[in-house]
Amino acid sequence: MSTEATWVDVPGGRLALEDEGAGPPIVLVHSAIVNRRSWDALTPLLVDAGYRVIRYDMRGFGESIAEPVEYAPWEDLIAVMDSCGVGRAAVVGNSWGASNALDTVIEFPDRFVALGWLGGGIGGFDRGRTPEEQALMDAEGKAEEDGDPDLAAELDVQIWVDGVGQPGTRVPARIREAARAMDRQLLEPGREFGTNRLTEPRANDRLETVLIPVLAIIGELDTSGTRAAARRLAEGAPNVRLESWPDVAHMVAMEQPDRVAATLVDFLAPLPRWS
């Protein structure tokens, strides 16, 4: 088992990844306010359950490097799998990582056996926001524009970790601070992420092509738009198991790694083993 980061060179970037355990491979794709460390609590649980777990920093996140070029996130995910010698995998994403995982499943259907979609998005789906959500997101954007990354990180934590309108004591302080530290790094001036190329047609118009089993987990304390995206995914894709958890916000696996691990293991158990 390796816990040292290894590197994958991609056009216009370099990706850091970790590859742990043995068994059918699962690839984890993090959200847009954190990096691969957001899976620290979940990874050993999946390894102990008999899976090989590959997680990586998306372009510009964590230790990964991005140049100011256009790129396709789905090609980066496939490059990670190829570098690890993985032909087929289950892929689990959170937030923007779930949206990217969904895009990759659509673009490369033969490479995946299952999708775990945790508080994610759907490319091309207009999720909408409540006035309270919009006010917080506008404030976060203004903090970034004003060059106040500390305030921006705090607002991100309020939106995505606490849940809009929830008290700052709802989740353990260690989870709040871990997310804040990862997000704060991303808000440093001059950090380069590249330019994300969008799929065409967008995922929202291609959900019926997602034939593999999908586990969609949504927290009822998540944003209204993310909850709407979960319903849209369940309606649009033919093989979706939707679970709505009343005591969770957006960072599902950081909040409840044991419950996520148990649910994933149960979801994947009936599938023929893959590699």
Same domain, 172 and 160: yes
Evaluate whether residue 138 is within a structural domain.
yes
pLDDT (tens, 9 = 90+) of the chain, 275 residues, equals 446 799 999 999 999 999 999 999 999 999 999 999 999 999 999 999 999 999 999 999 999 999 999 999 999 999 999 999 999 999 999 999 999 999 999 999 999 999 999 999 999 998 789 999 999 999 999 999 999 999 999 999 999 999 999 999 999 999 999 999 999 999 999 999 999 999 999 999 999 999 999 999 999 999 999 999 999 999 999 999 999 999 999 999 999 999 999 999 999 999 999 99
Burial (CB count within 10 angstroms: exposed 0-12, middle 13-18, buried 19+), residue 10: buried
Same domain, 176 and 62: no
Evaluate whether residue 274 is within a structural domain.
no
Same domain, 200 and 212: yes
Residue of 162, 156, 161 lying closest to 137 (CA atoms): 156
Evaluate whether residue 273 is within a structural domain.
no
Residue-wise pLDDT for 133-172, tens only, equals: 999 999 999 999 999 999 999 999 999 999 999 999 999 9
CA pair distance 13, 53, nearest whole angstrom:
22
Domain containing 88 equals: 6-127+191-268
Residue of 6, 14, 7, 144 lying closest to 71 (CA atoms): 14
Q: DSSP E strands: which ranges in 177-227? A: 195-196, 214-219
pTM of the model: 0.97
Same domain, 162 and 223: no
Domains contained in the chain, number: 2
Same domain, 217 and 247: yes
Evaluate whether residue 65 is within a structural domain.
yes
Helix (H) or strand (E) holding 249: none
Torsion, Cα of 197, 194, 20, 256 (10° steps): -80
